[in-house]
Structure 1
Amino acid sequence: MGRLSMTRRTFAKVAAVTAAALGATATAGQALAEQSDAASASAGEVKRIRSCCRGCGKMECGVWVTVQDGKVVKTEGDESAFQSAGNHCAKGQASLQAAYHPDRLRYPLKRTRPKGEDPAWERITWDEAYQLTADGIHANQEKYGKETCIFMGGTSRIWSMAPYGAFKQCFGSPNGIQANEICKGPRFYATTLNASNAYSWMEVVGRPRVFVQWGGASELSNYDDSCRMTVEVATRADKHIIVDPRQTNLGKEADIWVNLRPGTDGAVANCWAQVIIENDLIDDLYVRKWMNAPMLVVEEESFQPTPCSSAEQSASIVTRLLKESDIKEGGSDGRFMVINELTGNLSYYDTTADNPGWEGEDWTPATEGFVPQQAGLDEAGQEQGFVLDYVPFPDGLYPALFTEEGGREITLKDGTVVHVRTVRERYIDFLQDYTPEKVEEISGVAADTLREAAIIYATRIDPSTGYGNGGIQYMLAPEHACNSVQNQRACDLVCGITGNMDVPGGMRGSTPGWPYFDLAMCNPDSKEIPAYDSSKILGSENFPMIGSDCGPGWADATSIYDAIESGQPYNVTCGIGQTGDFMNQSNSLFAVEQLMKLDFWCSIDLWHTPCVDMVADVVMPAAHWLELDCIRKSQGSSGAFGATVKAVDPPGEAKNDLEIVVGIFKAAGVPYFDEATHGAKWLEGDEAVKHCNEIGLANFRILDWEDYKAEFQEKGWFDSKVEKPEDWGTYRRYQIGNGHISGGFPPTPVQRQGWNTTTHKQEIWSTVLESWLVNGVANDGKPEKVCYTDEEFTPDEVFPKYWEAPHGPVKDPDLFADDNSFLMTTGRRQGTYFHSEHRQLPWCRELWPVPRLEMNPVDAERLGLEQGDWVWIETDQHKIREVVDLYYGIAPGVVNAEHQWWYPELSQVDHGFKLSGVNCLIDRHAQDRICGSSNLRAYGVKVYKATPENSPFGNPVPCGDDGTEIIHTCDDPRLKDWMPDYESARGEA
């Protein structure tokens, strides 16, 4: 493939011209869309609004919303949106049914009866709701301290993320039950440990040559580059590989299916690394220069790890990596030693210098590079970007990846002689436990298949590009088997050693601004926002990383529920939930039992969910995405940003979450806005929304929210490659100082070369895990204990060590002794629901009326089961019912259940979540050993037929407490009761 070589400055100038041109005219696809709008508008009754769908919460699909006579009558995909290519799934199309649903929350409410009974909700004013909430929390804090309150947050709808930040700041508590503990968070944290925050995001829109889907079905739902984009990329890729215990929708078209046993992802990823290294398929220069592979490890166990300094870490880091301070009096503890292959002498990388770099290097940002020629981008109207050429080592330096046999002898400054070997050598030793033959025994995947998949992935189809075939779209499944952080570290390192970090189609991280922060979090410029004490975060008593300066940033949900029950380490008595629920992690039964004990709870939601009706004392009605204005950027690597644009007014008195958050701040007496900048500490209504969005637009070329919306309506989605050519438009940003940026913000990255780690390198050997878990910096120098066993963390935790799931067939074989024993996985993606959402939408429910348990027909025949039979799924915690769905795409002995089901049609306060809620089955203390995430997959269950004899009310179909059946057929007349109610008070925006 030919190259168009140029300098980065020239590329930036070209991009600036492109941006100017886009400001003058729309693309052809956009122009056609506008022509369609113009034709419709001639009648004077129809308005077509460009917006961003939030039907699932994990994507940024561009859509058109048609409003006729003040009502939304249609939503459809925006073909001009480069990140979604016109995609608009069933969930998105059903959004108008959600907006006009008769069961929507419309007014603020307060409970008038004790919890556990019908709440007998009473309508109140917004001022009352705000003040009851602030007073309820303050009263508990006066009695128990600031940390007594908790905040529960759901998925990443940018306007409703206050539990992740704003409420913690408003009330001074560090404790949040956050969905990211079990969704994306472990991935973000793993890449933070390895390189930089959120580099788990893959640039699918970059059209990788080899497309690897690992543990998910993004062709269906819930991922940043999903559905139509995934299908296009998969079908056009030279090779398509899926790694999954079930054959996904696209899996039947894949070139290779790595059909692993649930929970063994880490072993398979390490196997790929072993095969890639053994076959010399690594990116040698990247491994030497941008990973800590050539750094030296002191071998002797008698050596006490020593402290080190780094501009990137404020926490205590002690490591076996050899530093200048270990061998020389007065030497720097931030200079990490390597062996110069050219001379045989020691050299170093200095992390503490004013301008960090290799010995003899005067680093300046790279400038030379080329425009890639990724197939499919030009025809899709996407920018190619600019790939920086690799910058070589300084003259006279070439770090060695190997030492002599037995290691190099080094004399420490106290005269002790030790042996050192490179991190690469130690990593190779570690990987010998993960050869294809050994991993076949672990995962059930044939050794030849493992070897073939790894070689196809790593063998460059076009070596002339200088970069790999693409990253790995590793998704949710590897986070759920109690080895979440290490599983993701293993995948990240496979991408690193093959040269797929920050390259076209590779791992790029989160799209940088705009906006550069979540709008429901506080104004970062405010001088009056109180701080909270992160050292008191719940979970740190069980998981030392959670309370560390190098921690993942969340409280542990199970630890919070345990604290409510025990009062230890302190009392938890109140909180706020914002579109979050207790069904997504930990054991749902235990969770809600504890939440019902709280003295006060406020829920902000659209629906009467189980959490609202069982737990809340005050309820605040939130607006739907069709009813609000909010800036939106891609949370992943598409580079797209645009807006969700208000199409109609919300029903009753429902409000945009941004207004609600500001209102709670005001009632609490805490400024939300900086008065000097915005003219007031609190704003209301459209003014609050406008100012929140303009905070997000800071430093953009359009600063006014109305002007931004106008350009978005006319021209369509903004491309960060065009708007930020010297950042998102540039690949290999670690060579220009942008590898230190944490996710999508702050807007100005730290200008140092390399990655955001102790060593400034992508760390194969994790200095943070070594320090906190192996060397026990928080435990008097003793290795920490694993949370759910008496085992200690072992020295090889510095690498992505694989551990078996605690209730899988290896660790807990007694669970698999019976004929009706199965290994269960859950959480698969499907086209009609998003986690707990949409069960009350007729279009969705009639397509998928009941939860399904996929089972291999061989197993079903053995158990006397047929398609459509209700079955019991049982553990020692609880039992639930789902319907058998016979499927050859899942291995015998494995079943796949659906998650987060509840039944809005049941009027009882729990809405039947116990009937089919899969997380009622789990052991709440089976958790990831590093970050606390729950064991949501890869555990043993018993499955047997539901019969009249073993079912309540003599009915295998789940029923409410009064015997009312759930909706279980597509012709249930109750579905008609949920049809849109267009008569409720609302008006056109």
Structure 2
Amino acid sequence: MPTLHFNEHASPAMAELDDGTKVYRTCSAGIGCHNLGCGLKVFVKDGKLVKVEGDEENPISKGRLCVRCLTAKEYYYHKDRILHPMKRAREDRGKDAWERISWDEALDTIIDRYRETVDAYGIGAVSVWCGTGREASQIHFQMANDVFGTVNAVHPNSGWSCIVPRMAAMLWTMGSSYIEADNSIGFPDRYDDPRWVCPNYMLVWGRDPLRSNPDGLFGHSIVEMMKLGMKLIVADPRVNWLATRAEVHLQLRPGTDGALALGLLNVVIEEDLYDHGFVDAWCYGFEQLAERVKEYPVDKVAAITEVDAEDIRAAARCIAQSPSTLSMGLAVDQNPNTLQIGHALLSLFAITGSMDVPGGCFMGIPPIFAGMAENAPTEEGEGEPEGLALYGNIGVEPLGHDRYPAMSAIVNTTHPDATLDVLETNVPYKIRFAYVFGHNAISCMVPQPKRWLEAMRKIDFVAVADLFMTPTIMGVADIVLPAATFFEKEGYVSNNNASQPGQMGAIIPVLEPRGECRADLEIMLELHRRLYPNSAKPGWASPADFIDSQLGKMRDVDASYEDLCEHVIGQYEIEYKKYEKGLLRADGTPGFNTPTGRIELYSTVLQNLGDDPLPYYIEPKFSAVSRPDLAAEYPLTVTTGGRRFTSFHSENRQIETLREIHPWPTVQIHPDTAADYGISEGSWVYVENHLGKVKMRAHLTPIVKGGVVNCDHGWWLPEADPENLYDVFQVNVNQLIPHEENGPLGFGTHYKSMPCKIYRADES
């Protein structure tokens, strides 16, 4: 098993310059990112933040930083940061009528309202909400289960359209907790390590890694591997920077990913480009898969996807050259066809012999080996988290799992769409208490945000912890707690929550908290102490103790938080071909962590969950093919979710330098499409469909496929009237996305393939 190791020759975590400036080495865990852990050097003089630079000793980021980290001083000192706990009356929700209070009053109020709720209505009336990014999401389940004793952990992203569908496909077909492109992240010498092999090709699917640095994959590592000879195949309706350097760019019709993936499989199998030895030894159901892909001949797929048939053939022939690797992104999740897309793409790299080999697709160790399931209840009820045991929630499923039982097999949160249904109908019961942190639902993630706003306002009591006032806080909160930046707290970041070996970094407090700000972890521990004063939970005495307890649950980590802080960065050695060494199965035998012990091209898990065990294509429900009636009025297709360098979802909208770079919510339009509608560069336009409309600035660019418009997501205007919720409903594109239009097992939705029309705002 891989172990954590440190560079004993690295610079100290803190050095002092001749003028008294202290330079701290630490890792980023926010100002808008997804736990990548970029290395920082933070310059502090006389207790004041001077500047932030990249830490060239970080083996992943190597001194590179995005503009969000480079403007961190503006973030830390911003005049609009929430610095003190505040409250307002429930009837004043939506009004800027806040009153400063003490931490004691805030925490006592939360605890009193929680106990009143449980005593009067039961634990089902309690919910805990969390978003993504920063390291707050690492403690979502502990906050819900161990502190508030509820299974109603809420992540309101329709169809759980963020990494979870991909992970479901990985677990249910490959038996791995996470599969990512092999970019040598576990080797201290990175690309110079003789055990690593440069991939021949990387297939980048529905992802813009240079902007998003997604799920632990540092985007610039792709550029580094290109310099070493790796070539690209890119599947995306837009022409991003990587697509301009690709051997083949598959510019598909939005939402048709499943058909394209099956078309690639068709070519590999029909042209006998697959690895017979690996298939015979390690794959289950190849014959059935071969029959299925016969239904997707290349010419048929070309007609569906609007991708040239020869490009599909060329791409498949490139990918078949093992070792090649796959980087599939959020666009796979944001599609009701999500599980089938993931299944098809992973099968493509499995049958070509590129799974868990140097330069191929690296397989994360299954969760049970990562020690992340230690709280799973046994038949005797042992191991149940404290809060759940206290409140009799053993065996209770989160909301919506009766409707979508497959959800229980992958994630212990409420089903997002079912959560809104419960809030609106109070069936099977009314949610009366909500604790929200790391999350701005009304500006981001939720489709039909007006419905969510009104539904959340029905909750009797809502407490929110955040760094800035947001539309969500202004719209629904009764208590606000001031959260700390990563400069002000203890923590750690790990690639993909340590499911894939790589880098682990220390978040080291380098500045005193501004005002009365506290870390989310510190707030959680204090709430627990107050709720259970006679219960000393092991590892919960302090943030450092909690981090130690978490590190101790990870694969053979014998280091403490103190050790991590001393060295700043730890790395795991990469282990290849784990399936040959008995490292993927609980019994220690060779094979994969699936019911058959093989990669399941024919998934017995999906079959048992009531779905087709083979990948298949679903035409987008609202496309012109499916709904010609809608297409008559809304002839264009809107996609959303693409990343910008200046923001992470709804964060960073108030940072002056970042707003100078990208000042307004923007819709990208092909110049020919814009000409058809009389739209010029910089025009304010409306993008509208049968569900709503949004106002944005037009940017004319040939990178967008004709007939497609691409809208920024996560927008609100912090400079606007707070009592108009910062104009969020003028600029939030999620008003055009439907509620509960998920795939067969409850995953994915139509963030990428909705009909629309577009017209100048001055014509309305």
Structure 2 length-normalised TM: 0.90
AA of the residue aligned to 2:752: R
AA of the residue aligned to 2:651: E
Aligned equivalents of 1:522 and 1:734: distance in 2? 25
What is residue 278 of structure 2 aligned with on the other side? 286
* 1:543-573 deviation per Cα after TM superposition (whole angstroms, max 9, x unaligned): 23124xx344332112111111111122222
Aligned equivalents of 1:484 and 1:221: distance in 2? 20
- Secondary structure, counterpart of 1:545 in structure 2: helix
Aligned equivalents of 2:448 and 2:745: distance in 1? 19
Bigger-Rg structure (1/2): 1
**RMSD of the alignment, in Å?**
2.8
What is residue 572 of structure 1 aligned with on the other side? 431
Kindly indicate whether the alpha-carbon contact (under 8 Å) linking 2:366 and 2:584 is maintained by their aligned counterparts in 1: no
What is residue 895 of structure 1 aligned with on the other side? 709
Q: 1:492 aligns with which of 310, 321, 346?
A: 346
* 1:440-494 deviation per Cα after TM superposition (whole angstroms, max 9, x unaligned): 01100011100100111112xxxxxxxx223210001121121112211111111
Q: 2:642 aligns with which of 828, 832, 850?
A: 828
Aligned equivalents of 1:505 and 1:107: distance in 2? 50
Residue 652 of structure 1, CA deviation: 0.8
Structure 1 pair 534–437 and aligned structure 2 pair: CA distance change class (3 A): farther
1:689 equivalenced with 2:543 (yes/no): yes
Q: 2:203 aligns with which of 212, 218, 221?
A: 212
Kindly indicate whether the alpha-carbon contact (under 8 Å) linking 1:200 and 1:474 is maintained by their aligned counterparts in 2: no
Residue 116 of structure 1, CA deviation: 4.0
1:440 equivalenced with 2:292 (yes/no): no
What is residue 657 of structure 1 aligned with on the other side? 520
Residue 159 of structure 1, CA deviation: 4.1
More deviation in 611-620 or 446-455? Answer: 611-620
- Secondary structure, counterpart of 2:566 in structure 1: helix
What is residue 57 of structure 1 aligned with on the other side? 33
* 1:860-893 deviation per Cα after TM superposition (whole angstroms, max 9, x unaligned): 1111111111111112221111111111112211
Aligned equivalents of 2:331 and 2:533: distance in 1? 40
Q: Which runs of 5 or more residues in structure 2 are unaligned?
A: 185-195
Residue 701 of structure 1, CA deviation: 6.6
Residue 72 of structure 1, CA deviation: 1.6
Aligned equivalents of 2:326 and 2:432: distance in 1? 43
Aligned equivalents of 1:750 and 1:120: distance in 2? 60
Kindly indicate whether the alpha-carbon contact (under 8 Å) linking 1:112 and 1:122 is maintained by their aligned counterparts in 2: no
* 1:518-559 deviation per Cα after TM superposition (whole angstroms, max 9, x unaligned): 89x999989745344454321224323124xx3443321121
Kindly indicate whether the alpha-carbon contact (under 8 Å) linking 1:515 and 1:631 is maintained by their aligned counterparts in 2: no
What is residue 853 of structure 1 aligned with on the other side? 667
1:710 equivalenced with 2:566 (yes/no): yes
What is residue 234 of structure 2 aligned with on the other side? 242
Structure 1 pair 567–56 and aligned structure 2 pair: CA distance change class (3 A): same
AA of the residue aligned to 1:591: W
Aligned equivalents of 2:156 and 2:52: distance in 1? 28
- Secondary structure, counterpart of 2:435 in structure 1: strand
Kindly indicate whether the alpha-carbon contact (under 8 Å) linking 1:267 and 1:802 is maintained by their aligned counterparts in 2: yes
1:720 equivalenced with 2:557 (yes/no): no
Q: 2:315 aligns with which of 450, 453, 457?
A: 453
What is residue 648 of structure 1 aligned with on the other side? 511
Aligned equivalents of 2:325 and 2:520: distance in 1? 36
Kindly indicate whether the alpha-carbon contact (under 8 Å) linking 1:160 and 1:657 is maintained by their aligned counterparts in 2: no
Q: 1:883 aligns with which of 677, 685, 697?
A: 697
What is residue 349 of structure 1 aligned with on the other side? none
Kindly indicate whether the alpha-carbon contact (under 8 Å) linking 2:44 and 2:51 is maintained by their aligned counterparts in 1: yes
Q: 1:191 aligns with which of 170, 173, 185?
A: 170
Q: 1:530 aligns with which of 380, 388, 393?
A: 388
Aligned residues: 733
What is residue 290 of structure 2 aligned with on the other side? 428
- Secondary structure, counterpart of 1:882 in structure 2: strand
Residue 697 of structure 1, CA deviation: 3.2
Kindly indicate whether the alpha-carbon contact (under 8 Å) linking 1:240 and 1:254 is maintained by their aligned counterparts in 2: yes
- Secondary structure, counterpart of 1:844 in structure 2: helix
More deviation in 703-712 or 186-195? Answer: 703-712
Residue 903 of structure 1, CA deviation: 0.9
What is residue 373 of structure 1 aligned with on the other side? none
AA of the residue aligned to 2:388: P
Residue 753 of structure 1, CA deviation: 2.7
- Secondary structure, counterpart of 2:480 in structure 1: strand
Structure 1 pair 164–750 and aligned structure 2 pair: CA distance change class (3 A): farther
* 1:672-700 deviation per Cα after TM superposition (whole angstroms, max 9, x unaligned): 853xx55xxx63xxxx1110121133286
AA of the residue aligned to 1:931: G
Kindly indicate whether the alpha-carbon contact (under 8 Å) linking 1:269 and 1:490 is maintained by their aligned counterparts in 2: yes
Residue 47 of structure 1, CA deviation: 2.9
Aligned equivalents of 1:846 and 1:885: distance in 2? 16
Q: 1:942 aligns with which of 742, 749, 757?
A: 757
* 1:630-676 deviation per Cα after TM superposition (whole angstroms, max 9, x unaligned): 122211746111211111011111111111001222233277853xx
What is residue 960 of structure 1 aligned with on the other side? none
What is residue 126 of structure 1 aligned with on the other side? 103
1:751 equivalenced with 2:751 (yes/no): no
1:761 equivalenced with 2:622 (yes/no): no
Kindly indicate whether the alpha-carbon contact (under 8 Å) linking 2:668 and 2:698 is maintained by their aligned counterparts in 1: yes
Aligned equivalents of 2:372 and 2:44: distance in 1? 28
Structure 1 pair 634–710 and aligned structure 2 pair: CA distance change class (3 A): same
Kindly indicate whether the alpha-carbon contact (under 8 Å) linking 1:211 and 1:472 is maintained by their aligned counterparts in 2: yes
Residue 195 of structure 1, CA deviation: 1.8
AA of the residue aligned to 2:615: P
Q: 1:144 aligns with which of 102, 121, 127?
A: 121
Kindly indicate whether the alpha-carbon contact (under 8 Å) linking 2:234 and 2:248 is maintained by their aligned counterparts in 1: yes
Residue 764 of structure 1, CA deviation: 1.2
Aligned equivalents of 1:620 and 1:562: distance in 2? 28
* 1:231-273 deviation per Cα after TM superposition (whole angstroms, max 9, x unaligned): 2223434321110000012221222100001111111111111
Aligned equivalents of 1:603 and 1:230: distance in 2? 38
What is residue 193 of structure 2 aligned with on the other side? none
* 1:197-225 deviation per Cα after TM superposition (whole angstroms, max 9, x unaligned): 43332223464221221101101224122
Aligned equivalents of 2:385 and 2:415: distance in 1? 29
Aligned equivalents of 1:506 and 1:443: distance in 2? 27
Aligned equivalents of 1:445 and 1:235: distance in 2? 28
1:546 equivalenced with 2:546 (yes/no): no
Residue 706 of structure 1, CA deviation: 2.7
Q: 1:739 aligns with which of 577, 584, 596?
A: 584
Structure 1 pair 798–914 and aligned structure 2 pair: CA distance change class (3 A): same
* 1:571-601 deviation per Cα after TM superposition (whole angstroms, max 9, x unaligned): 2222111111223033211111100110011
Residue 710 of structure 1, CA deviation: 1.5
AA of the residue aligned to 1:191: M
Aligned equivalents of 1:427 and 1:825: distance in 2? 31
Q: 1:925 aligns with which of 732, 737, 740?
A: 740
% same residue:
29
Kindly indicate whether the alpha-carbon contact (under 8 Å) linking 1:825 and 1:938 is maintained by their aligned counterparts in 2: yes
What is residue 191 of structure 2 aligned with on the other side? none
Aligned equivalents of 2:665 and 2:386: distance in 1? 48
Structure 1 pair 543–671 and aligned structure 2 pair: CA distance change class (3 A): farther
Q: Which runs of 5 or more residues in structure 1 are unaligned?
A: 1-7, 294-423, 460-467, 722-728, 741-748, 775-796, 951-989
Residue 196 of structure 1, CA deviation: 2.4
What is residue 69 of structure 2 aligned with on the other side? 92
AA of the residue aligned to 1:212: L
Structure 1 pair 442–526 and aligned structure 2 pair: CA distance change class (3 A): closer
Aligned equivalents of 2:744 and 2:435: distance in 1? 28
Aligned equivalents of 1:518 and 1:285: distance in 2? 34
Aligned 1:379-398 pairs, distance under 5 A: none
Structure 1 pair 887–701 and aligned structure 2 pair: CA distance change class (3 A): closer
Structure 1 pair 869–233 and aligned structure 2 pair: CA distance change class (3 A): same
Aligned equivalents of 2:757 and 2:371: distance in 1? 45
Residue 190 of structure 1, CA deviation: 1.1
